[in-house]
Chain A
Amino acid sequence: MLDSFNQTQFLHSVITIGSLLIFAIGLVGVLIKKNLFKIFLSFAIIESSLFIYFIGMHFEVEKVAPMLTDKVTKFSTNMTDPVPQAMILTTIVIGIAVLALALSFIINYFKLTNNMRVDDMNELGDEK
């Protein structure tokens, strides 16, 4: 009976629904949260939902991970597509760098103004 869960089709639909839910959580966070830290965290959540969806859509039950070793030196047809994995690895690294930079900006901004709410950021404008 458990075999029916181990089908590519079924897993793909689970991943689609799951990543949509995570995307929704992140979107709600971006739209209703006013704390700068929580806003950037929500962006990270949205990004991770995209990663899960993209990797998950290229997952197939019979295929193995696309890793090259000393014995396996070529990408072959029984491996999943390596391009999405390479893409997502790169994107995760970029995402971490951007998030860290954002947090450092928020910390510095908080030290100067004692404010972390996005709607109280009124330093810029024509009257200033």
Chain B
Amino acid sequence: MSLLYFVILPLLASFLTPFFRNYLRYISLAVNLMLLALSFSFLGSLPIRESISFDSPLSIAFVLDSASLFFIVLFLSIMTLFSIYAIRDKSRKDIFILTNMLLASVSGLVLSGDIFNIYIFFEIASISAYILTSLQKDKEAYSGAIRYMIMGAVASIFLLIGIMTIYLNLGTLNLVTIGEKFSTIDNQIKSLTLISLFIGFGIKAEIFPLNFWVVDIYQASTNRVNALFSSVLSKAYIFLFFHIAYILGVNIKILSFLAILGIISFGVSEISALSSKNLKRVFAYSTLGQIGVLFIALSSSSIVATTGAIFLIALHAITKLMLFLSLDILEDRFSSVNIDIFKKFNSLFLISIFAIGFLSLLGVPPFGGFIAKLTILEGLITKSEYILVGAILVISLIEAVYLFKLLGMSREAGEKSSLDIPILKRGVLSIMALSIIYLGIFPELFLQICKSVALALVGVDNV
């Protein structure tokens, strides 16, 4: 079976929409499940390199190693859960055209073995993200989409400059060849390339100081779209950022610079979340904070911390999907996202979902977040990065303040209205909550998987 199916099938499903508009949601679910089965069939034969060639210099290279397979399975599982959650809503079915495009492009991003294809998938992902942002068609949505497009244009120009300098100096676009030859380039051109690629990918990976626009985009989009942005799109770009960084063989100075950016990112976003009154913004700040932690862990060049980071990526994707979809239920009921809505509902189910999500974000046992943070801290301690360890622990306390404030509000007395949650949505949310608890209690198998992913991502010689 060809790796191209991961890109072609979702694109086909979204482009054939005019012919079966009413069945699109079932078809997307079927495509997701089919691709999930396909991705498991590749398990035994990793790594796979596939080159689709037209004529000698023009070809498309796809690489499937355990890292990209892990991310593909993660994205497909998220998309499957999302499709099941949204399958009964007849009014909002157009979203599936764009989610399929998003799925095709993020699969392409993690599979590409060629930096120009990465640029193309980067643009496809951006285009679908712009339209997803504008889905509500009100002035907030268009304002957010225009901001997003301005930042996207800056990112794509810098990325293009980086790719062009690489091609002008090395004469190749293949990532493996670039990795072999990159150290031979002149130092000044090397730093120009690295800075361009850092700005290009950094804007999309949402790292401080390039993340000031992100919260506005989350505020402008619907909760379902935010769920996908937070759990699929940002994760794909973080993978890509460090994939490219390790291929280019960045040195220890740059990695420690990235760790400092990560700590600032974590601190600034958690402090900003304290004062925010809009739940979409609070969750967006929390996402930015977790991205900061991921940057700290992934730039530590310790295999244990990287394992923890991969664990956190998967766990945070599930947690944020769950939290944003629960917020979606609340916004449907109260048509507001002010933090006051936490006082207004009376549903033990939804409160426990929020509690599991928040406690897992904080890293409280027995939830999965505890294992992730513990592994990251363990890795940092073996590298004697005590300042980073201390900073993560202190900032987690700030995170605890606003998350417990929200949970406390839900127990306050006052007028409460009950919520009617359809059984399908209950089922999807429960699956996610149970998997968070499962990963917290029985993490061994998943940690082993994460370790092989970390080895594939960092590369054995970089450890």
Q: Could you tell me if B160 and A102 are in contact, using CB atoms closer than 8 angstroms? A: no
Q: Could you tell me if A121 and B146 are in contact, using CB atoms closer than 8 angstroms? A: yes
Residue of A with least CB distance to B130:
A101
**With contacts A75-B56, A101-B149 known, is A124 near B143, CB below 8 A?**
yes
Q: How far does the Cβ of A114 sit from chain B's closest Cβ, in whole Å?
A: 10
Interface size range on B against A: 35 or more
Interface string of B149-184 (1 = CB under 8 A from A): 110111011001100100110010100000000000
**Restricting to A70-128, which residues have a CB under 8 Å from any CB of B?**
74-75, 81-84, 86-87, 90-91, 94, 97-98, 101-102, 105-106, 108-109, 112-113, 118, 121, 123-126, 128
**Restricting to B123-151, which residues have a CB under 8 Å from any CB of A?**
123, 126-127, 130-131, 134, 137-140, 142-147, 149-150
Binds A, one of B63-71, B272-280, B300-308, B416-424: B272-280
Residue of A with least CB distance to B217:
A124
Q: How far does the Cβ of A101 sit from chain B's closest Cβ, in whole Å?
A: 6
Q: How far does the Cβ of A8 sit from chain B's closest Cβ, in whole Å?
A: 15
- B18 interface residue (CB < 8 Å to A): no
Residues of A within 8 A of B120 (CB): 90, 94
**With contacts A40-B149, A98-B123 known, is A123 near B140, CB below 8 A?**
yes
- A15 interface residue (CB < 8 Å to B): no
Q: Could you tell me if B275 and A84 are in contact, using CB atoms closer than 8 angstroms? A: no
Q: Could you tell me if B127 and A105 are in contact, using CB atoms closer than 8 angstroms? A: no
The docked-state distance in angstroms from the alpha carbon of A43 to that of B134 is 21
Q: How far does the Cβ of A11 sit from chain B's closest Cβ, in whole Å?
A: 16
Residues of A within 8 A of B143 (CB): 109, 113, 121, 123-124
- B281 interface residue (CB < 8 Å to A): yes
**With contacts A86-B58, A124-B140 known, is A43 near B157, CB below 8 A?**
yes
Residue of B with least CB distance to A110:
B142
Interface size range on A against B: 35 or more
**With contacts A112-B138, A123-B139 known, is A98 near B160, CB below 8 A?**
no
Residue of B with least CB distance to A124:
B216
Q: Could you tell me if B173 and A36 are in contact, using CB atoms closer than 8 angstroms? A: no
Residue of A with least CB distance to B216:
A124
Residues of A within 8 A of B277 (CB): 126
- B264 interface residue (CB < 8 Å to A): no
Interface of A is mostly: helix
- B367 interface residue (CB < 8 Å to A): no
**With contacts A43-B157, A112-B139 known, is A124 near B219, CB below 8 A?**
yes
- B116 interface residue (CB < 8 Å to A): yes
- A24 interface residue (CB < 8 Å to B): no
Q: How far does the Cβ of A107 sit from chain B's closest Cβ, in whole Å?
A: 9
- A68 interface residue (CB < 8 Å to B): yes
Q: How far does the Cβ of A85 sit from chain B's closest Cβ, in whole Å?
A: 10
Q: Could you tell me if A98 and B168 are in contact, using CB atoms closer than 8 angstroms? A: no
The docked-state distance in angstroms from the alpha carbon of A81 to that of B160 is 18
Residue of B with least CB distance to A27:
B157
**With contacts A83-B58, A86-B58, A126-B278 known, is A109 near B142, CB below 8 A?**
yes
24 A-B contacts, Cβ less than 8 Å apart? A36-B146, A47-B157, A50-B160, A54-B168, A74-B56, A87-B116, A98-B123, A98-B127, A98-B152, A98-B156, A101-B131, A101-B149, A102-B153, A105-B145, A109-B139, A109-B143, A112-B139, A112-B142, A123-B220, A124-B144, A126-B276, A126-B277, A126-B281, A128-B219
What are the 6 A-B residue pairs with the smallest beta carbon separation, nearest first?
Answer: A109-B142, A123-B143, A43-B153, A124-B216, A112-B139, A123-B140
Extra contacts besides A83-B167, A87-B167 (15): CB < 8 Å: A50-B164, A82-B57, A83-B58, A86-B58, A87-B173, A105-B142, A105-B145, A109-B139, A112-B142, A123-B144, A124-B144, A124-B147, A124-B219, A124-B220, A128-B219
Q: Could you list which residues of chain A lie within 8 angstroms of chain B, going by C-beta atoms?
A: 36, 39-40, 43, 46-47, 50, 53-54, 57, 68, 74-75, 81-84, 86-87, 90-91, 94, 97-98, 101-102, 105-106, 108-109, 112-113, 118, 121, 123-126, 128
